[in-house]
Amino acid sequence: MNPIGINTFLFTSPFVNGSVELFSTFADWGFDTVEIAAEDPLQLDAAAIKAALEKNNLRCISVAAAFGPDRDLRGTTEQQQTSIKYIKDTIDFTKAVGGELVVGPLYSSVGRADAVSVADYELQEKTVVAHLKELCKYAAEKEIKLAIEPLNRFETDFINTCEQGLNLIEKVGSDSLYLHLDTFHMNIEEKHLGEAIIKAGEKLALLHACGSDRGTPGWDHTNWNDIKRALETINYKGQLVIESFTPEVKVIAKAASIWRTIDGSGETIAREGLKFLRGQFG
């Protein structure tokens, strides 16, 4: 049975030490894991957070990294260095809370989407590959894996599809680098979600399970039976994490263009999404 988790962005941003109060609620609802969105890991008390997870019989397997304009592995020299330090700090935090994965669009700031020449793209890619090699080495020393997330075309021009993600992973050439897929982004960019999952194969380290409108998984047109068959085909044992948003968490709502209430409260999305995923992937 796949562990089912909840990303903290559904309820708060930024995640702070006091946010551990959410854990008892998540546990009461029946979640197995919490995916902490670590926007500023240096401000977090990893020991206290780990203790709160254990108290509520929860795990934090994956930590979601956040990339604003100042964090960009293909940006200015300053942005690159800021991003490298942030990712290393997030790796340290993940290790400290007992996690295994640092996930997200590790390659670029979110929202950077421009048409560039082939030559410019190749130069950006070369820069990102060099940095990811360094970061993968650091992650391996900490026994942590990195997983890059393709985003839709409105959020990045760099990695949109599973195939592009796999190509980047191949260029980096590290056993510490994996793929993180999200059904919301896949719904926009992939021809066929199931085929993309099968293509990812053993490199798939995490699946974000979201409605096609960023709402409740199962309350949408996504072919979840196809996704189930694909995950069974590759013998996927990883998490299914709900990463949905509401207008109430204003910073994230603006970043993700959530202008309207989609499926009611965060509680509705979490509880109904969990119910569906348990039934579908049991």
Question: Taking 90 as the threshold, does the pLDDT of residue 107 lie above it?
Answer: yes
Q: Please give the Cα distance from 276 to 265 (Å, whole number).
A: 16
Residues classed as catalytic: 149, 243
- Residue 100's contacts (CB-CB under 8 Å, 6 or more residues apart) are 61, 62, 94, 144, 145
DSSP codes of every residue in 81-131? HHHHHHHHHHHHHHHHTT--EEEE-TTS-TTB-----HHHHHHHHHHHHHH
- 185-203: pLDDT as tens digits: 999 999 999 999 999 999 9
**pLDDT tens across 36-61, in order?**
999 999 999 999 999 999 999 999 99
* Domain interval for residue 110: 4-281
Q: What is the pLDDT of residues 231-278, one digit of tens each?
A: 999 999 999 999 988 877 777 767 778 778 888 899 999 999 999 999
What's 83's domain CATH number?
3.20.20.150
Q: What is the mean pLDDT of residues 117-141?
A: 98
Count up the domains in the chain and report the number: 1
**Which pLDDT tens digit goes with each residue over 65-87?**
999 999 999 999 999 999 999 99
Average pLDDT, the chain: 96
Torsion angle (degrees, nearest 10) of CA 240, 101, 184, 157: -170
- Mean pLDDT computed over 95-122: 97
% of the chain surpassing 90 pLDDT = 92
Write down the pLDDT at residue 27: 98
